[in-house]
């Protein structure tokens, strides 16, 4: 049994998304001691941003006419797709950056979607596959907050994972991760701690749920 894990945080340490994904992975691991974790760390090891246009161009021409760079880009997209298609369960940990989606996660999605198996309207080999996405935000964006509507990442990420790829998605969310870092957010210490505790509980529950998948 295998778990694919993608991290998009640009921080190796003190990362809220990595800490929550660690809880998912640890609880999954406790149930599946011999399972394999396949890691793709696009935050610390970004994919080349130039690969996407090469793969798109290659997809519109006969194989024999492709340049070496185009072939390499297609091979990379195939490898990325294989990693999720071959896994029994999926885990994504993606922070909010500049009110939008992490560019590294976007590059990964864009490349994977060039593979015909994961293309929009394609055969959906990830349909029903159990998945967890950990979404963290430094501030807060709920209804009634001053920045309600400013989070332009979460909706898009869910659209891709739930609708384009049809995974069986669970969402772990933690807001106010900058409390304790940005003094202006000090009044929200209690709220942040409670959001964090809820997120940690969900992460553990969902890690166990991912382990319930059995390969045929």
Q: In the complex, which residues of this chain contact ligand FMN (CB under 6 A)?
A: 9, 11, 15-18, 95-99, 136-139, 177-178
How remote is the C-alpha of 46 from its chain's centroid? 14
Nearer to ligand FMN by Cβ, of 177 and 211: the residue is: 177
Least distance from ligand FMN to the Cβ atom of residue 14, Å: 7
Write out the DSSP string of 28-65.
Answer: HHHH-TT-EEEEEETTTSPPPTTHHHHHHHHHTS-GGG
Nearer to ligand FMN by Cβ, of 113 and 136: the residue is: 136
Least distance from ligand FMN to the Cβ atom of residue 20, Å: 8
Length of the chain (residues): 216
Nearer to ligand FMN by Cβ, of 80 and 96: the residue is: 96
DSSP conformation class of 93: E
Nearer to ligand FMN by Cβ, of 9 and 78: the residue is: 9
CB-closest chain residue to ligand FMN? 138
- Nearest CA to 117 out of 127, 102, 108, 104 is that of 127
Nearer to ligand FMN by Cβ, of 38 and 150: the residue is: 150
Least distance from ligand FMN to the Cβ atom of residue 98, Å: 5
Least distance from ligand FMN to the Cβ atom of residue 12, Å: 9
Burial letters for 95-126: b for 16+ Cβ neighbours within 10 Å, e otherwise?
bbbeeebbebbbbbbbbbbbbebbeeeeebeb
Least distance from ligand FMN to the Cβ atom of residue 185, Å: 10
Nearer to ligand FMN by Cβ, of 1 and 99: the residue is: 99
Least distance from ligand FMN to the Cβ atom of residue 143, Å: 16
Distance (Å, rounded) from C-alpha 8 to C-alpha 213? 25
Pure H helices in the chain: 16-31, 51-59, 68-86, 103-114, 154-158, 189-211
């Amino acid at each position: 049994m295998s778990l694919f894990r993608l991290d998009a945080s640009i921080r190796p340490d003190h990362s809220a998304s990595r800490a929550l994904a660690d809880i998912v992975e640890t609880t999954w691991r406790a149930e599946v001691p011999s399972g394999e974790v396949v890691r793709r760390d696009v935050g610390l090891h970004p994919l080349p941003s130039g690969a996407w246009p090469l793969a798109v161009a290659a997809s519109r021409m006969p194989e024999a006419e492709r340049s070496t760079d185009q072939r390499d880009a297609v091979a990379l997209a195939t490898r990325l797709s294989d990693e999720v298609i071959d896994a029994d369960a999926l885990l994504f940990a993606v922070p909010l950056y500049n009110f939008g989606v992490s560019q590294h996660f976007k590059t990964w999605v864009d490349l994977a979607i060039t593979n015909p198996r994961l293309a929009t309207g394609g055969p959906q080999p990830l349909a029903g596959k159990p998945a967890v996405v950990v979404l963290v935000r430094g501030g807060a964006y709920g209804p009634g907050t001053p920045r309600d509507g400013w989070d332009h990442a979460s909706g898009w990420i869910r659209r891709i994972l739930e609708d384009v790829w049809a995974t069986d998605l669970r969402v772990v969310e933690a807001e106010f991760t900058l409390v304790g870092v940005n003094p202006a957010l000090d009044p929200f210490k209690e709220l942040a701690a409670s959001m964090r505790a809820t997120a940690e509980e969900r992460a553990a529950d969902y890690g166990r749920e991912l382990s319930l998948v059995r390969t045929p």
